Structures are given as C-alpha cells and as structure tokens.
Structure 1
Amino acid sequence: MLAAGRRVLLMVPEIALTPAAAAAFRGAFGRRVAIQHSALSAGERYDQWHRIRRGDVDVVVGTRSAVFTPLTDVGLIVVDEEHDGSYKQDESPRYHGRDVAIVRARAAGAVVVLGSATPSLESYYNAENGRYRRLTLERRVFDRPLANVRIVDMRTEYAAEGPDVILSGALVDALRATLDRREQAIVLLNRRGFASAVFCRQCGDTLECPNCSVSLTVHRAAGRARCHYCNYSTGVPKTCAKCAGPYLEQLGFGTERVEAEIGSVFPSARVGRVDRDTIRRRGAIADLLARFGAGELDVLVGTQMVAKGHDFPRVTLVGVVSADIGLGLADFRAAERTFQLLTQVAGRAGRGELAGEAVVQTLYPDHYSIRHACRQDYAAFYRDELTFRQSMRYPPAVALINVVVKARTREAAMQDAGTIVEA
C-alpha cells in the first residue's frame, strides 16, 4: 500500500499496545509514523494530529479514536484483536471502532483487515455467510507450538484443602518449577482489589454501594472499600453499620490479594501487578511492562490487560485464577468473552524458543467455553455458541437495538418505554 502511495491505519485495543506496534513500523518506515490515543497530552495530540493533516505521516497507530484521524489516501485499515470490547464506546458519541473502520474503508475504497485469534462471533458469522473473506493462519509465528493447557477442578481442591484456597497445588508447583528455571509467569484474575465483599457474620449484612446496591470491593493498599461501577468509596469499617457487631469478614479475592499470596508462597519472587489501581499514573503501565520485558520481574499478576497482545519470550507459564468469573455476568456474550480471554492469555506462554504451559483453575471445567478454550478449538466453540444464540434469539442470529428512555419521573419513563415495546 505504501509503495502505491496510499496510507495505513493500524488500530489496537489498548493504549499499552501502541508503543510496540509503532516501534515496529518506525523500524521499517522511519519517522513517518504517528500515534493517536487518549493518553497523549493536549500538546502531543495537537502535534500528531497536524502531522497527519499536513500529510507528513504514512502510518497511524492508535486505539479506537484513531479511526477518526484526518489521514488521507487510506489504502489499508487493520483492526488488530477485532473482537476486543475496548473498541466499543458506550458514552456519547456512541460508536464501535471496528464498525466505523469498515464504513471508512468502504468510503475510501480501502482494504480492511480484521485480525484476531478469537474473532467475534459476529465477524466469524459474516465470514461464514460470505460477507467477509476469511483468511486463516494455520501456524504460530516461527512454528511455535501452542501452550499445553491443564484444567484444575477447584471443587476437588476446595474439598481437600478448604474453601480459602487461592492458588491450587498444581499452579503452585508450576510456579515453583518456572521460577527455579529462571523463567517468567503471568497470572490472570479478571477482578481487581483485595477482597470482593465485606460480610457481617452476626447479622448477615453486606457492605454495599449506596448508589449502585452492589458489594464494595476492598482495596487494602488504599485502605478503602470501593464501588467498581460509580467509583464511590469509603473507609473499611471495623464494625457492622447495621448491627454494630465487630464480626466483619472479607470474602473473595482480587488481583491485589493474588499478588500478596504469591509473594507469601514465594518470598524471593519479584512480583508486579497490572490493573487499574496500579496504572493511574501516566506512563505507569508502559514502565511496568518494560520492567517485566527486561526480566526485572518474575511474575506479573493482572486483569485482562495482561492477556492482550503482549510478547514476552521468557514467559513459559500462564496461570488463570477463577477462569469462570465472567460466566455469571448478565451478558449474552459472557461465554464468548470467557473463551476469548482464556485463549488469548494462554497464547502469552511459549512465544519464544521455550515451550509454554497454562494452568486454568475453575469451578466449571465442563462448561463449553472453558473446555474449548483449553483445547484451543475455536470452530467447536463457534458451533456451540451460535446454537445457543440462535435458540435465545441473540446476535448474530438477530439484530438488537438498545433504546434509552429518559423522562422527568420514573413513571413517565416506564410508560414511554411500554409504548415503544407495544409499537
């Protein structure tokens, strides 16, 4: 495309992925590469935008908002990890970066490539029905073998060791062997914080958000209990607000506690954590990933951020804690997102010359999303998930429209919503 005088737009789902992608293009094409994402300062964004507008740039690398950059003569748009939910913006203006890229490419007469090891069901469905052309890479880069995946049934683990187990015996053994070989590991838990609830053993009351009516998550380092929906926070209480009893118990766990547990089991291990609590400072995630890539950390604990497109050749082990955590969400894509997350994070192991393995802890080892992810069998998952979607009349079998009704009173909003339903 560049040889033909046309320009390229590369979209990635996370800001943390832009430096490596931009560096790869700069190595090949020099300084005519620009970056666009929301973490740039106002001055940086201005400079990059005007370089693009003046025609000084041939390649733009960015997140979803990069699809709106004033790049002319676009010949190719690549949407990397097209399945990723980060491409969708729910706030106004509402749009899906992948879908805007398709429309923009059509208008410009450009080629659009939707890339993913775990395509969205909608994209795969479109390919199966001839709307898209499907291209399949049968082998990993340099013919690296896929990671060997082991499933740990945590029901058996709890029965033998008690309900407070965080790291299974299999995962502890695998971590020990990895550290002994001076290799690296990634441990995924897609829930941040230290404990997921504060419960009173005397009256049964749970500490909840006054705005959202959900359990507050304890963040030990900050000394706060926080709502992950509206960001309300309060100090962690010593006594129950309802009965004044002192018998409060912290239940569940998040990445903060997993980090502490690994540090307790392996005191000499250098452990880092990647989640929203540790990357608030500008540039923090890039610094942390750079330290891990340089071998300054042995284990990286994190939420779904650690599963996305990172290439660490010394990582030979991936551990997944509570692999089924997303299956309980009220979302018809829950199984799809679980499958994608497990497949993607398992793919972080064994990307270099060393073989990789993954240990997946779950209470539901027979759920088709987990079973197919551990076998890395996308086609089988697609068949099972599409059957479920068709039976329940969910996309891509049908199209859904989200209608938001606003009114001065709840009664008026409900009445208007009812009118729309009956229309």
Structure 2
Amino acid sequence: MTAANKEFAERDSAFNTISVIGLGYIGLPTAAAFASRHKKVIGVDINQRAVDIINRGGVHIIEPDLEELVKNAVEVGYLRAVTAPEPADAFLIAVPTPFREGHQPDMVFVEKAVTSLAPVLKKGDLIILESTSPVGATERMAEWLAALRPDLRFPQQDTTAPDINIAYCPERVLPGKVMVELIKNDRVIGGMTPRCSVRASELYNIFLLGECVTTNSRTAEMCKLTENSFRDVNIAFANELSLICDEQGIDVWELIRLANRHPRVNILQPGPGVGGHCIAVDPWFIVSQHPDLARLIRTAREVNDSKPLWVVDKVKAAVADCLTATGKRAAEVKIACFGLAFKPNIDDLRESPAVHVTELIADWHAGETWAVEPNVESLPESLEKKVQLCELGLALEQADVIVMLVDHTAFKLIPGQQIKQRWVVDTKGVWR
C-alpha cells in the first residue's frame, strides 16, 4: 500500500455508506470519487435510463476519465444506482436548482430530494447540500427535515449535539476537468454549526487532496454565488468590448491580446453569451434577494443575456448580403451553426447561448438551419423540429452562412483558409 493510499485508508471510517442524490454532471463524478476510495456508494436519480446505464458500468454524460472510474466501481461493487434513497451514513444532494419566471430561484428539486431521503434518516447521519442555492437555503432545508422527522434533533434545534449534522458545500469544478478538479481543488465547507463543518470535512477528506476551508452555511452559499458572479461580470466586460469593437471596426481579439500585455490586466474572451448551470444562473440568485443593491451584477447578466440577440442580428445581415450577392431566395440559403454546448469539448447544453442562438435563427430563417455538434447524438427538444444535426464536412461543403458559436477543438483544427464561405459570423475568433 502506498503512503497516499494508507493516508486515505486511515481517514474517517464512520462513513461506511454514502448516498449521492442526483447523478448528473456533479453527482455522478462525486459518487465515483468516493467509490474509488473503496466506500460503498448508493447513487440516487429519478431518471431510470441513467440508473440503468450506470448499473451496467456506463455513463450518460461526457466527462474525461469518468467512464473508467464508474465501470471499475460498479464491477467491484462499490457503486450502484437506484431511483429512491436507501439508508446511508451521509447524504449529498446534487440536484438542479433552476430559476422560475422573473429569475427567482426554484428549490423544488432540493425539496423533493429532502422529502425522499427523510424517511431513511437515522441518528448520526450527515446531510450536505451541494446544489447551487440562494443564501439561507441550507437553513430552509433543515426546517423541511425537522418538519418531516420530528423524532430527530437538527442543528437549528440543538447546536451542540444534534442527531443530524447539516452543511453546505458547493462544487468548484470545470466541465471537462471535473475528475481532476474535484479531487485537487479546495472546498468551502459551510456547516450549520462548527461540528457540522468538521463532520463534512471528514467526509470530503476521504478523497480530497485540496484543503477543506470551514465557515458557516450562509457564507458558503454566498461564496459560491460570488465566485460565479465575479466571472460573469468579467465575461460581460469582454462581451461589451466586442460590441464596441464591432462598431469601431476593431478586431476585439487582437485588442484583448494587446491589453492583456499590461501586467495588471487580464481580460477574458468574448463569445455568443454565457451558458452552463452556474455562471448563467447563480448571479440571478443574488439579484433576486437584493434587487436594489446588486446593480452591477444585474447589468452584467443583462449584457450577457442580450449577446445572443446581437449575434442573430449579425446573421441576419450576413443572410441579406448573401441574398443580394447570389440572387438566391431566402428558402434556398443554408445556415450552419457550429457548436451547441455551453463550452468547448463537452456535451452539456444547459443554459447554452449557442442553443439559444440556433433556435432564434431557426425560428426566423426561411431556409434550412443546421447544427454541427460532434459531442451529441441528438438535438435538444427545443431544436429537434426546427434544426437538422449535420456532419462537419457536409456543413463546410454546402452551407451558405457559417455561424461559429463554440470553439470545439475539432473546429479549431480547421485552418481559416479552408473556410470557403464568404459569410462567416465568428463569435469566438476561431477563423477571423
């Protein structure tokens, strides 16, 4: 046994069985990480198809190194998936937290997860909320549990020795590097009491190489929202620059490259908007609770949310020029949208501005709209009746207008001089 493995083996052994509720882009990698340390892990998901795939040793999402970890864990019996919670020593909730109309946080999936696990709770269990949530969500979850299980004492009822420990611990991983960052990145642990933070730290230290930094649950919740709001504001600056540079006839990517040579300047890259379940959503959680104070955060969200509309206007102008130059009818013009994922080289389409742009184009355009996305096998429901999934080669050969939306490696490998189309809307600067 190596020194590293011995260290992991000596860590807290009280968590013999760990349950992860929600087997998506965060839950499944987390379950696999615990299982890789020879812990019995019960994954819970309401999606029967996902459960069946996992129990066969497969994965239903694309993430480097994940499939091999899941396959090995299932084969040796450390990981299995079910559709309803079973007794465990620790429960991690990693379900979606979207927003409702008016950008109000929707905690319905968290509430359903809490309701489903409450019957199997026993004294000594630990519950951790990982889902991105508004400030106060962990305390609210504890109140739901107290109402469902009056026979147990929770941290808000007994701060020194509750029957159930509760904490908030957000993920801090980048899609495409989840299995590396999940293990190496520091974690912010927000317990409802100091003892809750200690217990949560003991759990994550089963696989974590980074540091567990403890605080209270409200600060941990705000920390997650702050991290993604910071990134959103910085992306909004880059996106706003791209609009200004377009008006001025300036190459925004060259401008940013030059400005970033300043020792204290680090401008991010513009794009068609901001996507993903975190950056495109989390800032609204702050705005919803502080609408009069979060003025900069709101403005950044509005800048990034409006960028897809600007992209579509550029496509409309390209099509109009194409019609004039070729004499074609609008119905004869083929538009190919390159990329649907919210970032390069993944299959995650959540809150993707590329999907939004493609849908807006298809709703407006009289001709065919194609989507070139090498990481998916089928289109999302919002596009399936409007858009055709197209192979890269066919799009390059036959499309009249090309719209670069996601800088997948497969697209970046194509030299710009090989792009024969006269009308190219490049939101990522790949073929400029």
TM category, shorter: 0.3 to 0.5
Bigger share in helix: 2
Bigger share in strand: 1
> Relative contact order: is structure 1 or structure 2 higher (C-alpha 8 Å, sep ≥ 6)?
1
How high is the TM-score relative to the length of structure 2?
0.33
